[in-house]
Structure 1
């Protein structure tokens, strides 16, 4: 082709028409238009070989204009295929980080895979990591960062779950951001296991601004859940997901529905944080039952907030009926605590409070079952 083009140029230059001065520039312009292109068609390569859309390829090609050959890009694609990445994963990776195609396979990518394998990651896990890490995977510092997170979070599966929820884990400085946040959480008496669980439910916690974490700690303390409390980790999670205004509103509803004082509410929240997730209507119905029917004091309920987690129709009311029936018929000690009867499993409840009274109260199993269905058996009628 080049030879033909050269002959064409020679023929045009030797033509008689070139004796006219005006003709030569036009002929030279014509020959320039058919000169061989340099490099290769990057945009077409991104579409045809990498699977990018035309719009993605147009945008990505600007970062690859220096490429003169597809050789390195072909090697990278072969490397990714060898790891097991799907064509969709490859397309997403290249669209996000076009310069990944410029990474050295032998000098950079392959050694990183070897070192990650040495940390315990399988090739399939590394294949999951690559599209998430993108440009950070072609930096050798990725190995030391993954090593730290594996030590902090535990098995590689946990690390990948956290990383999927927070792609900034590999872009933030370990020393200036992540380790600083971990130190602050440790100062709040959270152990490695708690920090790992917190990171899974709140991946951004590890890379958050330190002032944000301090604000979360302060909000948890305002709920009556200080550092060192068994519910502190759950409190941090709750205040991170809900605004201070919403928490204040929930506390207000909680106190009104249960007739709790500020102290009672603080005790209840510190012992069972999920009490804040109950609706105002649910709190009102259960509180009315405990106080008006069972005769419990609000402070008693506040110190045993887990009572509020059980179904009113399926457990709380039927078991109260059994307790009253047994006490009024002299089959149960009057000092028997209702809370203990609520907590035990159905199997244990039947073994302790139903089966032993089959002779004295033969209809008790049927009556209890009917009560759990929302019915009021005749034998449970109280005078």
Structure 2
């Protein structure tokens, strides 16, 4: 039996001398790589020029090989300042993507910045976009930014001055930084096969852009799940169903169904409301509970009315439902409604202008009281001027 000493001797005999080619595998198995020490020159630059804390500066510096020159970081910071970026925006940009400090300004950064400027990202909008999405500056202009942006532009119908595109770029750089062209095109094809085209595809992109960068298998599973909930791909509600289900776990959806059942609805009735108005299920459980309690217990609306018109559950209690309910109560108490009164559920579908015209403006002697009931002490200035002009005429 070999002794431990003889085994150790055999191992070290196999370690190559200077004259032989080193066995890198053997070295890595016998020794640990030393932790890279912070680059003092770079650390001081981050602290003194960009106001990083010492701890954060040291952490960032260890991601890079030791540098001998600060020429590139200097030129990058100077370029950002020339674009009008504030010191806070520059700090945020570097914090998100430290690699940009070592970019070539003329060859790498300027072409990308000019591309964004041509889209309409200028002034403060450009600074905000870069500070929140500096990873975009590390993407390939030709292979990622240009093709992916063009795909998005083709989806966003009626996008005046690229405002929707700019909003998308400003909010989520990873959306373009992460996917490739084939991923986007593949997912768009799946959505279009479900009848989601034109304005509906545009809506989905603005509301749930994450759907467009899902793995294809996950997107197909999502489509199947929504279809299994009773929403037909031929229905315009399928888009909204996809939008809601994509951000709800099965457990959360089941809890919301249980909430409806606690107010006397069957599962089938709750699913019928979902099929008619999926966006209702975007509300939190607490919000849904307050709405159901108000309609069913406070104003004693029949359950069948909610099943027929579930959209009323998506309206804000404070901003729309309760103010309109107060106005209608005053009109009823004063017997000012001579014509047949529409259902309260239907009244909630009116725009604010339509509601004010039909149930406030026409009752001149009671306008002030109705407005107070509708808006409290915050009278609508535009309506106030309208009612004054009406009295003059």
Asked whether the two chains share a fold, i.e. TM above 0.5, the reply is yes
Structure 1 residues 139-154: aligned runs within 5 Å: 139-141=140-142, 142-153=145-156, 154=159
What corresponds to 1:24 in structure 2?
none
The superposition leaves residues 179-201 of structure 1 with CA deviations (integer Å, 9 ceiling, x where unpaired) of: 22222222222234333433333
Q: In the alignment, is the contact (CA less than 8 A) between 2:280 and 2:310 conserved in 1?
A: yes
Residue among 232, 255, 258 paired with 1:252: 258
For the pair 1:271 / 2:276, whether they are aligned, the reply is yes
Q: Distance in 2 between matches of 1:262 and 1:172?
A: 40
Contact 1:57–1:95 (8 Å) recurs in 2 = no
Could you tell me how far 1:137 is from its partner in structure 2?
A: 1.0
- 1:22-71 CA deviation, whole Å, 9 max, x = no partner? xxxxxxxxxxxxxxxxx992322222223322223223334444533222
Matches within 5 A, 1:92-171: 92-122=92-122, 124-138=124-138, 139-141=140-142, 142-153=145-156, 154=159, 155-171=161-177
Q: 1:225 aligns with which of 227, 231, 238?
A: 231
Offset at 1:78? Answer: 1.2
Note if contact 1:182-1:206 (Cα within 8 Å) is conserved in structure 2: yes
Normalised by the length of structure 1, the TM-score is 0.65
Pair 1:42 & 2:42 matched: yes
Give the Å deviation of 1:348: 1.4
Judging changes above 3 Å, is the alpha-carbon distance between structure 1 residues 302 and 116 closer, same or farther for their aligned structure 2 residues?
same
Relative distance call for 1:50 and 1:65 in structure 2 (3 A) is farther
Matching of residues 335-354 of structure 1 within 5 Å: 338=343, 345-349=355-359
Please say which structure displays the higher CA radius of gyration: 1
By how many angstroms is 1:312 displaced? 7.5
Alignment coverage as a number of residue pairs: 318
Equivalents in 2 of 1:274, 1:260: separation in Å? 18
Counterpart in the other structure of 1:176? 182
Gap change, CA 1:164 and 1:214, over 3 Å in 2: farther
Q: Is the 8 A contact 1:47 1:53 kept in 2?
A: yes
Q: Structure 1 CA distance, aligned partners of 2:83 and 2:348?
A: 55
SS of residue paired to 2:231: coil
Alignment of 1:287-326 (within 5 A): 287=296, 298-299=303-304, 301-307=306-312, 315=324, 319=328
Output the CA distance in 2 between the equivalents of 1:117 and 1:367.
52
* Greater mean alpha carbon deviation, residues 203-212 or residues 277-286: 277-286
Unaligned residue ranges in structure 1 (runs of 5+): 1-38, 359-363, 373-383
Change (3 A) 1:301 1:106: closer
Structure 2 CA distance for aligned equivalents of residues 368 and 90 of structure 1: 52
Aligned alpha-carbon RMSD (Å): 4.2
Change (3 A) 1:263 1:107: same
Deviation digits for residues 96-129 of structure 1 (CA, Å, limit 9, x no counterpart): 4333222112222222333333344325444333
Distance change in 2, residues 1:70/1:271 (3 Å): same
Tell me if the contact between 1:166 and 1:203 (Cα under 8 Å) persists in the aligned partners.
Answer: no
CA contact (8 A) 1:225 1:266 kept: no
Matched, 1:286 2:289: no
TM-score by length of 2: 0.64
Contact preservation (8 Å) 1:119, 1:147:
no
Whole-angstrom distance in 2 between the partners of 1:146 and 1:366: 52
